[in-house]
Amino acid sequence: MLLQKAYFPMKVLNISQGYGNKADTHKKSYAIDFCGNDAGKDPVYAPFDCKVSKLYVKKGHTNTVWLTSLNKVLCANGYVGYMTMNIGHPEDIDKLKLGQVFKQGDLICHEGKTGYATGNHIHLELGKGTKAGWNLVKTGNLEEWVILNKVKAEDYLFLKEGTVIKNNIYRGIKYNFKYDSLEYETGTYKTLGIIKIRSGPGTNYEQKKVKDITEDGRKHVTSINLNAKASYKKGTIFDVLEIIYNNDSSIWGRGYSGYVCLRDKDGEVLSEIIKKE
Ligand SMILES: [Zn+2]
């Protein structure tokens, strides 16, 4: 079965509060607040095929729904597993039922301001596994509910192509959500700069020596010294026989001479495809 990707659940990504700052309400969690278009109540969609695994609806409190994936999903950093997301503040989750099933992309609810909220938004947290729930974390007098097995949403959720990034910075920190448009294929690629040839698909693998690459490869490297480290020159055309998705979000191609980074962990394209296989 094809793995489903875990998606960011709104069409506009607009951060109104991040985490980790002493002055904010998200001190101990990795919660991020999103306010969509910042005009009204934007819809929130199912990030994956999921079921309602926990509901908290109480007058005067922050309404919250937990959505747990029905299957293992592929996350943006390469992690594969069951995931649980909670969404806080919506007004329209009182009609949801525990165990209710949604397909990826189905409408779940809308932004709201139940509980502690000054404007319409959602409070989003992501956790690994199927156990919906929270830990109560106290810092002095301040209490905060934190999802179990918390992880950083920006590392795990893909942005569907077409998602608008209105704001991804809060208090100088950038929350680097990455797009999903990464269907890399085997074929012929061209380097866009000088690129190291490595013995494996990651920057932790050592760079190969010129003597260890193919005869044809040696015509395209920056040094002819056989004991020098091998790097392709800018504009080198090479074949990619296999695509490897690294856990750090980088994408690698296996060629005849070794492994070459096609897209680095920050999303920069280092080699572009010029002909599909
Ligand atoms: Zn919040």
Q: Separation of 65 CA from ligand 1 center, angstroms?
A: 14
Statement: residue 1 has pLDDT above 60? no
CA atoms of 48 and 2, how far apart (whole Å): 13
Q: What is the pLDDT of residues 35-62, one digit of tens each?
A: 999 889 999 999 999 999 999 999 889 9
Q: Separation of 234 CA from ligand 1 center, angstroms?
A: 46
Two structure tokens written together for 225: 């010294």
CA atoms of 65 and 41, how far apart (whole Å): 16
Return the minimum-mean-pLDDT range out of 111-115, 182-186, 209-213, 242-246.
182-186
Q: Separation of 86 CA from ligand 1 center, angstroms?
A: 11
Residue 82: how many CB atoms within 10 A of its CB?
A: 18
Q: Separation of 210 CA from ligand 1 center, angstroms?
A: 53
Q: What is the pLDDT of residues 227-274, one digit of tens each?
A: 999 999 999 999 999 999 887 778 899 999 999 999 887 777 899 888
Q: What is the pLDDT of residues 213-230, one digit of tens each?
A: 999 999 999 999 999 999
Q: Separation of 213 CA from ligand 1 center, angstroms?
A: 53
Q: Separation of 19 CA from ligand 1 center, angstroms?
A: 9
| Extents of the domains making up the chain | 4-179, 187-276
- Residue 208, phi then psi, degrees to nearest 5: -75, 160
Q: Separation of 83 CA from ligand 1 center, angstroms?
A: 19
Q: Separation of 243 CA from ligand 1 center, angstroms?
A: 38
Two structure tokens written together for 100: 């209710």
pTM for this predicted structure: 0.68
Q: Separation of 17 CA from ligand 1 center, angstroms?
A: 7
Q: Separation of 121 CA from ligand 1 center, angstroms?
A: 8
Residue with tokens 């397909």: 103
CATH of domain 4-179: 2.70.70.10
Q: Separation of 27 CA from ligand 1 center, angstroms?
A: 10
